[in-house]
Structure 1
Amino acid sequence: MKRLSNLLAALVFASLVIFMSCGGGSDDPPPDPLVEVAANLTGTAYAEPSNVQTDGGAADGDWSGFGINFSGNQNGGSYTVSGVPDGFGDVWTNGTWEFGNASGSVITKTHTGSTTSTDMTATIASGSLTLTFDVDEPSARTNGIAGQWTFVFN
């Protein structure tokens, strides 16, 4: 009888060890969604916007030669622009960017030399990028510059 009692105790102990080793899953943290969004944003040089609007209508200036290139990672980075039409430096100039929310749908841009930043709504899908933001800086006094801007790159 003592032998059966010892065997039963050994089985209970072995069962506890087995159940304790069966964890509830991995201790790895979930992937950061900003890593993927940043890879898509910085992995493409965006040139020649297919559509540029201000306040819902056609934008002034010739934006056909405009391009933007983002560099960095999920913690932000910098961007460089080219082909900005004369007089539209309040809309785009080189600067820095960072994500403004946890999903990556908002990018905060800050022009080089500026102390103010602008939140942009960003949509990245299948190599397409849409950026929407407001220009309301005190220096944006030129007709056609102040207002909501939308740039669509395909």
Structure 2
Amino acid sequence: MYDVYQIMAGDTIDSIANKFGTNSSVIRQLNPNSGFGVGSMIVVPVTNQYFDIYTIKKGDSLYEIARKYNTDYNLLAMLNGISTNDYIYPDTTILVPKKDVKYYFTKDNDTLSSVNKLLGSNINNLLRQNKNIYLREGQLIVYKD
């Protein structure tokens, strides 16, 4: 589920991310065309329903974290706007998918109908849980039964 947030004077990407319990890479990924100027409207995740927040420990790798949470490490990287080969720094936080939620990054030419079918979702619930579905390539869609 997403909300729309208007950037205020003094906001930074990091402060917005902290306000919504996420990280700056997720904010950037959800808003690839935003200049992040004062007054801009951006999409922010409502993370507590769909993600857990994990603090990186020394020696962690995306692969090990993904295995620990029984998820795909490519999905873990995409959710956090990083490459699977990127170094992850201790004491930083990442989003980890919750087990009962389905995730999909849109592709070119996706339609609401095709995404709905792929996720096996109820169209009304899909729209309620993703208030701002623009179906631009790379948009994260979440669905929870």
Instruction: State whether TM-score is above 0.5.
Output: no
Q: Which has the larger helix fraction? A: 2
TM-score, scaled to structure 2: 0.24
TM-score (norm 1): 0.23
More strand by share: 1
Larger radius of gyration: 1
